[in-house]
Amino acid sequence: MASDEAQKLEPLRLELQLQAHQLNWPLHVGPPLSNQGAFGRVFDGLWTSTQEAVVIKYQRHSRTNRYVTMLDIQSLKSQSEQACTHTPYMMLYFDQGGLPEYRLYPLQKSIVPVEYYVGVKATLCQTLPAAQAKAYFDIESLGGYMIIFYKITNGITVQQYIQQNPVISERQAKNIIILIILNMHLVKRSLVYHNDLTASNMFLQTQPYPRVLFIDFGDADVMDGYTYNQLKIPPDMWTTNYPGGLRGTFHLIINACQECKQQYPQNISQTFVPPQQQQQAIVEQSAMHPWIVNDLKAVIDNPQFPYYHWKVFKT
């Protein structure tokens, strides 16, 4: 009984908490949705200035060493279920020339820049229209909580489409595959690695034209443009991200930072110089992170280099 009463008070508590932090948004918080999960609490909501229905996600954020931009992200809503994507710092697409264009937005002057674990600051692409930024604030201002707003739109995931249409034509399958490949190109061109690309994270729309949009970039990484473009090695070898979402070599580097305190010679790249220019570029990386030299050597000495899978590293 006490638990039921507490749940009834949650929307009011959330509204009061926003007001206490001078976040006077024209927002009415409705009851929590039934599909709660480890990702946080989800509420129905209403943006009262426009009478626009929204989904509000209220989540404890453990990564208190970084700020996150809260953007108005696409969400799904159907008659049978409500689900929301959770992408704290990325808008999914623009329409340009009749095609969906994925972009990462810049962090506005009023928004604290995203700082990665190693201090890398990201300035990401073109200007974000103010009307599309419904809410943003630093996560520490609410004591480690963050709140994300989602637009409600009509659509279906590729997984739901296949489940509802177990028999599809070859032409339908071909069109979906082409759209997925197109989006892969657009996302990679922005140097983004999704890390969780499944049929349930592909959003299928038919209006105003057929398109597949990747959603749920919560585990996404921003790739290191130099190593990706110059070395052409698998992108998840050199991606960077925050703790808990680390991938490949960066995961190893962070662990080594904590565990290995001994000194390394500054000229380590001179003591280990492979002949090929491509290998030399990796050696320059290893000079910055000398504790991974042996693991890197195992990779570049492999006949399949540079396409040898990153899991050769001890993670």
pLDDT, tens digit (0-9, with 9 covering 90-100), for 186-233? 666 655 566 677 887 777 766 666 667 666 554 555 555 544 444 444
Structure tokens at 297: 């050597």
pLDDT, tens digit (0-9, with 9 covering 90-100), for 274-308? 445 445 555 555 555 555 555 555 555 555 544 44
267-287 as b/e, with b when 16 or more CB fall inside 10 Å? Answer: eebeebebeeeebebbbebbb
Mean pLDDT of the 233-242 span: 42
pLDDT band for position 162 (cuts 50, 70, 90): confident
Residue bearing tokens 């979906």: 176
- Which residues, in sequence order, are bridge partners of residue 157? 203
pLDDT, tens digit (0-9, with 9 covering 90-100), for 248-272? 343 333 333 333 333 333 343 344 4
pLDDT at residue 168, rounded to an integer: 83
pLDDT at residue 182, rounded to an integer: 72
pLDDT, tens digit (0-9, with 9 covering 90-100), for 49-60? 666 666 565 554
pTM above 0.95, yes or no: no
pLDDT band for position 116 (cuts 50, 70, 90): very low
- Which residues, in sequence order, are bridge partners of residue 239? 223
Length in residues, the chain: 315
Q: Report the percentage of the chain scoring pLDDT > 70.
A: 13
Alpha-helix residue ranges (DSSP H) falling in the chain: 2-20, 158-164, 170-189, 225-231, 248-259, 268-271, 277-288, 293-300
Residue bearing tokens 């110089």: 273
Residue bearing tokens 């657009």: 186
**197 sits in which H/E element:** none
pLDDT at residue 184, rounded to an integer: 73
End-to-end Cα distance, the chain: 46
pLDDT at 41 over 70: no
Q: Where are the domains of the chain?
A: 2-154, 224-312
Mean pLDDT of the 75-89 span: 25
